[in-house]
Amino acid sequence: MRTRLARVVSLGSYLGLIGLGMAWAIHLGGLPRSQISLTLLFLVLPLLLPLRGVLHARPRALVWGMLAALIPILHGGVIAWAETWPKSGWGGLELFLAVSYIVTGSFFIRWQSRAPR
């Protein structure tokens, strides 16, 4: 039961990071049109690379996803710290989703490896 819960929370956090990264680049960040592609490249592309393995719960892909989630941790932390309220809230959400994915993904890998086969 706990393995399934960790899986659901980690997958939801990961997909939420992808969605929030796209929403930030396109609408929430207030970026000029010329910077949208670059922002998508740096925020979303690293999360999309291990997506297939994350969806299939492959431990190696989950670890690569966790490494890719370090970028949103940095971005969300800076936005939460440096911006005013509406944007700082979105940065805090990004930070929360990234940390949530890393923690629950780690527990999922650990509990799945110890589960009886």
Please say whether the beta carbons of 91 and 79 come within 8 A.
Answer: yes
Q: Which amino acid is at 93?
A: L
Instruction: Pull the structure tokens for residue 106.
Output: 């780690």
The whole-number pLDDT of residue 115 equals: 76
Please say whether the beta carbons of 81 and 97 come within 8 A.
Answer: no
Dist. CA 99–CA 38, nearest whole Å: 24
Question: Of the candidates 55, 53, 96, which has an alpha carbon nearest to the alpha carbon of residue 76?
Answer: 96
Region 25-29 average pLDDT: 91
pLDDT at residue 117 above 90?
A: no
Q: What pTM did the predictor assign?
A: 0.93
List, for residues 69-94, the tens digit of each pLDDT value.
999 999 999 999 999 988 999 999 99
Please say whether the beta carbons of 35 and 27 come within 8 A.
Answer: no
